[in-house]
Chains A and B, each alone.
Chain A
Amino acid sequence: MARLEHKQSALVMGTALSLAALAVAIDYTRHPLPAPTAPTARHVPAGETTVPCGMGNPCGLGETPCGLEGGSPCDLTPCGLGGDEAPCGLGTEPGNTETPCGLDAEPGSEAPCGLGTEPSSEAPCGLG
């Protein structure tokens, strides 16, 4: 039996968190994110006021966060990673069965959300 005093506990926690931070840094160097693609020209229909997500305007604070603005082009071009994949729960139109997360899921489908059967799913919804 051992009794860890406050300072020893703090030392153990500090070491563990430092190692975790180091692991995250190493992980980032092994799997760097692709550089953001340059903005491309896009036709904006007359009257459309929403600034496109990922078109020179990253969705975010003060702009148009994904998931907050259903009418925004975020639905079509998800913020952040990949950009070519419709995230689960972001932009799934009613009846769209490519992303069986949530209420748009195919009734009776046994495939868990994001479990290898929906190549378009971007989010770990339903995976806990």
Chain B
Amino acid sequence: MPYSGFNDHNGGNPMAQAIPAPRTEYPVALTSSLAILGLALLLQGLVDNRHALLFLIAVGLGVTLLHAAFGFSSVWRNFIRRRESAGLRAQLLLFMVTTALFFPVIDQVFPGLRATSAMGPVGISVLVGAFLFGIGMELGAGCGSGTLFTVGQGHVNMLITLAFFIVGSLIGTAHLPWWTSLPNIGRVSVIRELGGWLPAAAIQIAVLAGLFWIVRSLEWRRHGRLKPLTLTDDRPFSERLVFGPWSWAWGVAGLALFSFLTLLVAGYPWSITFAFGLWGAKIYTALGGDVSTWTYWSAGYPARALQRPVLADITSVMDFGIILGAMLAAALAGKFAPAKRIDWRLVAASVVGGLLLGYGARLAFGCNIGGMFAGIASGSLHGWLWMLAGFAGTWVGVRIRIWAGLDKPY
């Protein structure tokens, strides 16, 4: 099948392609800038500097995700349907770069630098959770990070996905103890199992490079050419940086930078969906429910998070940062609040997709970011299991989209 056209958002035509100047929406840009500044100051005053700093790092993540349109659901869908691999190659490149950055820090190579992995048990819970998440992100049209940055961009249908993402997460917290009682081999650190950060990083990067070569070959075989990871644009660097769009390569650089900063400042990798369960639990409590007796919420960090304001929860604060950062970037790029046709199929898909996203993320110890990206980049084997199961779920989700009339058949 020939390409339907180069390229929707970046990667662009390898031949020089004029990118129209963005129609910046200054009122929205100003409002989001003030909101970012205000919340950063509020966090500094009410909580501490670390929360404020992580919030600002998350703003950077949101800007990067929006300007580079660095999603997972559309990228995986495009690869499955059309063998377009640019986004997938960018993701694999991101995993390689962050492996090289994260592994030495996790293994405490540098004096004074210390951080921990995003570990999850390798077992049925992650397998089922990531599979459901894969289906959900095709129906809901967004992954963990994608849902946040498209909400920031002002996609109204993503509000529905996010709302049911939260509901699904809450339901997942109720069932998680049962799922974790199913067979698993516990947490497996590839850094420990492979004899330290250097051999582990070398092997993991080699495997990722092998996957990179495979997906690249599949695109080449189908189309006889490759979409580039760079963007040909005559505009000045600073203008492209502020107003976008960014190439995949810039997206990789931005996400690697800000996720590494998150690791250093937070002490653990970037995560997203714990906050959704927390917001759900707080809303449920406000409506008269009681989750304090649920195993998940009865002790440890979740119990403490429940007793504190969401502004004290780093995951929540970073999620706010991603939304506001994406909103700012969308306003600068003239992409805020696009017109949208909403029909019952889209609403139904968003509801079901959101529920599957939330439930799956809880079972899988995170979404595509906290479970897969953070897991792989910080040397947890469950991240690899997440990738396999999530991709299988995406394959099913792509077919459900066709069956439901959301996409045209091949």
Question: Is there contact, CB below 8 Å, between A112 and B365?
Answer: yes
Tell me how many residues of B have a C-beta within 8 Å of chain A: 95
- In the assembled complex, the Cα of A121 lies from the Cα of B189 at a distance in Å of 19
In the complex, chain A residues whose CB is within 8 Å of the CB of B111: 70-71
Question: Is there contact, CB below 8 Å, between A1 and B268?
Answer: no
- The 0/1 profile, CB within 8 Å of B marked 1, for residues 16-35 of chain A is 11000001101110111100
Question: Is there contact, CB below 8 Å, between B116 and A10?
Answer: no
- A58: CB under 8 A from chain B? yes
Question: Is there contact, CB below 8 Å, between A124 and B187?
Answer: no
In the complex, chain B residues whose CB is within 8 Å of the CB of A66: 50, 265, 267
- B17: CB under 8 A from chain A? no
Known: A24-B310, A103-B192, A115-B180. A123 touches B112 (CB 8 A): no
- The 0/1 profile, CB within 8 Å of B marked 1, for residues 87-128 of chain A is 111111010000011111101111011111111011111111
CB neighbors of A among B138-193 (8 A) = 144, 151, 154-156, 159, 176-177, 180, 184-187, 189, 191-192
Partner of A128, one of B311, B365, B378: B365
- B29: CB under 8 A from chain A? no
In the complex, chain B residues whose CB is within 8 Å of the CB of A122: 301, 304
A62 to chain B, nearest CB (A): 9
Tell which of B107, B302, B323 has the most Cβ of chain A within 10 Å: B302
- In the assembled complex, the Cα of A115 lies from the Cα of B48 at a distance in Å of 25
- The 0/1 profile, CB within 8 Å of A marked 1, for residues 29-66 of chain B is 00000000000000010111111110000000000000
CB neighbors of B among A54-106 (8 A) = 58-61, 63, 65-71, 75, 79-82, 85, 87-92, 94, 100-105
Known: A67-B264, A108-B186, A110-B186. A102 touches B117 (CB 8 A): yes
Known: A9-B339, A102-B117. A121 touches B312 (CB 8 A): no
Question: Is there contact, CB below 8 Å, between B341 and A1?
Answer: yes
A13 to chain B, nearest CB (A): 4
Known: A1-B342, A3-B341, A27-B282. A59 touches B114 (CB 8 A): no
In the complex, chain A residues whose CB is within 8 Å of the CB of B304: 81-82, 85, 122
Partner of A67, one of B117, B265, B323: B265
Partner of A9, one of B298, B302, B338, B371: B338
Known: A6-B337, A10-B336. A102 touches B116 (CB 8 A): yes
- In the assembled complex, the Cα of A128 lies from the Cα of B277 at a distance in Å of 10
Question: Is there contact, CB below 8 Å, between B117 and A103?
Answer: yes
A27 to chain B, nearest CB (A): 5
In the complex, chain A residues whose CB is within 8 Å of the CB of B93: none
Question: Is there contact, CB below 8 Å, between B271 and A128?
Answer: yes
- In the assembled complex, the Cα of A12 lies from the Cα of B163 at a distance in Å of 14
Q: Across chains A and B, which 8 residue pairs bring their CB atoms closest together, nearest first?
A: A60-B49, A128-B366, A102-B116, A89-B116, A128-B370, A67-B267, A89-B267, A9-B337
Please, could you name 24 A-B residue pairs with CB atoms under 8 Å apart, sorted by A? A6-B337, A9-B339, A9-B340, A59-B49, A65-B264, A65-B265, A68-B264, A79-B49, A79-B50, A80-B47, A82-B304, A88-B116, A101-B119, A102-B268, A103-B117, A105-B187, A109-B186, A109-B187, A114-B302, A116-B302, A118-B301, A124-B315, A127-B370, A128-B370
B residues near A (Cβ < 8 Å) are 28, 44, 46-53, 106-108, 111-121, 144, 151, 154-156, 159, 176-177, 180, 184-187, 189, 191-192, 263-269, 271-274, 282-283, 286, 295-296, 298-305, 307-315, 323, 336-344, 361-362, 364-367, 369-371, 378-380
